Amino acid sequence: MSEVYAARRTKLRERCHAVGSESALISRPANVRYLAGAAPKGSVLLLGRTEDVLVCLDPPDDRAGEGRPDETLRLQTLPGSGGDPAVAAVDLASMQGIDALGVEEHHLTVARHRAIRSVAPRLHLADLGAAVEQLRVVKDEEEISCLRIGAEIADQALGELLESILVGRTERHLALELERRLVDHGADGPAFPTSVATGPHSGRRAHHPTDRRVEEGDFLSVCLGATYRGYRCEIGRTFVIGTSPADWQIELYDLVFAAQRAGRESLAPGAAYRDVDRAARQVLDCAGYGESLPALTGHGVGLEIDEDPQLAPAAMGKLDACVPVTVEPGVHLPGRGGVRIDDTLVVRPEADGGPELLTITTKELLAL
């Protein structure tokens, strides 16, 4: 794996040169992990002139899912409550004779920036912007394989839940049960707080589970994901409780399903982000739900659950092959409930069979 991390750092170095720096200080945890293999709490990565150094508060731990630092990196730990790793990294940069350093201004706080300036007043600090986030958009097959395993775990957890009795159980219990099953099946943990929404709550994005119990006739929307080796996937499904869904439930379900399928089918290398969003959105828009739609209908996933690209009306850019994204349109009718359907897929060229669906739980409307 060392070569992978070293190759990523080489790519970043090339980007640094473009902003006039020969070196970089990476502080955003997911970016540190991407480039170093691990991101112990508070750690920063110095891409130096003579060597790259991972500066940590404490020695890296072999904790489940935290990753292991690339062995070709030098590790430096700060003893005890030994101050700010970013400041220590800047000290190292000075010792390496570095005079221009790229930093992540979208992550670095003003106070930390000032502390860096005060220990190295002559060091030129340039903004790297989202350079590392951009590198992270296209995944390699190793990364996709972690997402695939995470998706299998989420499918398993969801499948088991569907076999159990649901009526009478609370949203909070169902969410905890799902998270336990994720871990049972080998996840590092949930990829994000599991959402279980019943009845009038159903169909809401990121609904926080409450003490409401599942009732006959409810829509039940579930959204969960597993983290596997740091990589986070997402699946969302909506079910109906009881033997026969109401007509409005079937109609709404079919509509959201059609929107989600349209989004999925538009995934292809070269497709504009906004066109994927529009494909899903216009189905709901034409049916009169345009006003209440969420700001985006999908997003990238990887080391973070919500990363670039954003599939939204004003998003700029085009999909590449090997970009994993969610497609997750939904409609929520206040007071009644609604439907969300959410898959994680990997963009693949037509020649390779088109988009690869990672979350394979059925999208038929199941009556449970």
Which among 111-119, 262-270, 316-324, 347-355 is the span making contact with a copy of itself, rule CB under 8 A?
111-119
What distance lies between CA 329 and its chain's CA centroid? 17
The DSSP symbol for 301 reads: -
Query: Per CB under 8 A, does 210 bind a copy of itself?
Result: yes
In contact, 327 and 297? CB cutoff 8 Å: yes
Query: Per CB under 8 A, does 213 bind a copy of itself?
Result: no
Q: How far apart are CA 232 and CA 230, in angstroms?
A: 7
Strand, coil or helix: what is 255?
helix
**Cβ contacts of residue 280 below 8 Å, gap of 6+?**
259, 260, 262, 263, 266, 297, 298, 311, 327, 329
In contact, 50 and 73? CB cutoff 8 Å: no
Instruction: Identify the residue among 24, 283, 301, 312 touching a copy of itself (CB under 8 A).
Output: 312
Q: What is the footprint of a copy of itself within residues 265-304 (CB under 8 A)? A: 295-296
Burial 212-235 (b: 16+ CB within 10 A, else e): bbbeeebbbbbbbbbbbbbbbbbb
Query: Per CB under 8 A, does 108 bind a copy of itself?
Result: yes
Query: Per CB under 8 A, does 110 bind a copy of itself?
Result: yes
Which among 102-110, 229-237, 259-267, 278-286 is the span making contact with a copy of itself, rule CB under 8 A?
102-110
Q: How far apart are CA 215 and CA 241, in angstroms?
A: 7
Instruction: Identify the residue among 19, 126, 183, 368 touching a copy of itself (CB under 8 A).
Output: 183
**Pick 11 or 107: Cβ nearer a copy of itself:** 107
In contact, 263 and 297? CB cutoff 8 Å: yes
Instruction: Identify the residue among 16, 87, 90, 103 touching a copy of itself (CB under 8 A).
Output: 103
Which residues, listed in sequence order, are joined to residue 189 by a DSSP beta bridge?
Answer: 227
Q: How far apart are CA 97 and CA 354, in angstroms?
A: 49
- The closest of 254, 268, 282 to 325, measured between CA atoms, is 268
Considering the complex, what minimum distance in angstroms separates the CB of residue 51 from a copy of itself? 26
In contact, 195 and 208? CB cutoff 8 Å: yes
Query: Per CB under 8 A, does 351 bind a copy of itself?
Result: no
**Pick 8 or 332: Cβ nearer a copy of itself:** 332
Q: How far apart are CA 182 and CA 238, in angstroms?
A: 19
Query: Per CB under 8 A, does 169 bind a copy of itself?
Result: no
Interface with a copy of itself: number of residues (CB under 8 A): 36
Considering the complex, what minimum distance in angstroms separates the CB of residue 182 from a copy of itself? 9
In contact, 117 and 125? CB cutoff 8 Å: yes
Instruction: Identify the residue among 22, 91, 99, 105 touching a copy of itself (CB under 8 A).
Output: 105
Query: Per CB under 8 A, does 81 bind a copy of itself?
Result: yes
Considering the complex, what minimum distance in angstroms separates the CB of residue 50 from a copy of itself? 27
Query: Per CB under 8 A, does 318 bind a copy of itself?
Result: no
Q: What is the footprint of a copy of itself within residues 184-203 (CB under 8 A)? A: 184
Considering the complex, what minimum distance in angstroms separates the CB of residue 129 from a copy of itself? 8
Its sign, for the CA torsion 77, 47, 101, 136, is negative
Query: Per CB under 8 A, does 91 bind a copy of itself?
Result: no
Query: Per CB under 8 A, does 356 bind a copy of itself?
Result: no
**Pick 13 or 113: Cβ nearer a copy of itself:** 113
The amino acid that residue 270 corresponds to is G
Instruction: Identify the residue among 3, 14, 59, 80 touching a copy of itself (CB under 8 A).
Output: 80
Interface with a copy of itself by CB under 8 A: which residues? 61, 63-66, 80-81, 103, 105-114, 127, 172-173, 176, 179-180, 183-184, 207-211, 295-296, 310, 312, 314
